[in-house]
Structure 1
């Protein structure tokens, strides 16, 4: 799915990943974030913990593949 489809779907299904915030516009080191962003021509799914900064969970060449994976990741934390 695309980024726009992902946003629409999580709103429609009222999905909220417990303590985590969802960030889709940049990589941040803020605590407890799940994110998916385009950086250096790669879609990067990342996570932050309470104090340790961010780490990349997976990288994708395709927006659809990235947001399909990110959707499943969000469901895991919901």
Structure 2
């Protein structure tokens, strides 16, 4: 999944990344956040702890990083939305 595909899917589902402490395209030191950014030819996925220390989770290509973020957040939101739809 590319960054564009990820952002389109997130917008389609109405997910507020800021509300979920997810940052795309830059580093942050906001406690309890997850993000990814591009540096030196690779995408870097990171977490920030309660003391504003960041730790790199993984480095890799764009598809792998955005699939990881989506699989660990986006699908959960999609499932939540599906539960809100009344059965006919």
- Quote the offset at 1:2 in angstroms: 0.8
Once structures 1 and 2 are overlaid, which stretch shifts more, 27-36 or 8-17? 8-17
Q: Which of 1 and 2 has greater Rg?
A: 2
Q: How does 1:36-75 map to 2 (within 5 A)?
A: 36-60=36-60, 62-75=61-74
Find runs of 4+ consecutive structure 1 residues off by over 4 angstroms: 75-78
Question: Please, what is the CA RMSD of the aligned residues?
Answer: 2.3
Q: Quick check: 1:47–1:57 contact (8 Å CA) kept in 2?
A: yes
CA separation of 1:74/1:16 partners in 2, compared to 1, >3 Å: closer, same or farther? farther
Q: Distance in 1 between matches of 2:75 and 2:48?
A: 15
- Quote the offset at 1:12 in angstroms: 1.4
Q: Distance in 2 between matches of 1:50 and 1:23?
A: 16
TM-score of the pair, normalised by structure 2: 0.69
- Aligned partner of residue 50 in structure 1, secondary structure: coil
Q: Which has the higher contact order (CA 8 A, sep 6+)?
A: 1
Q: Distance in 2 between matches of 1:43 and 1:31?
A: 21
- Quote the offset at 1:16 in angstroms: 5.2
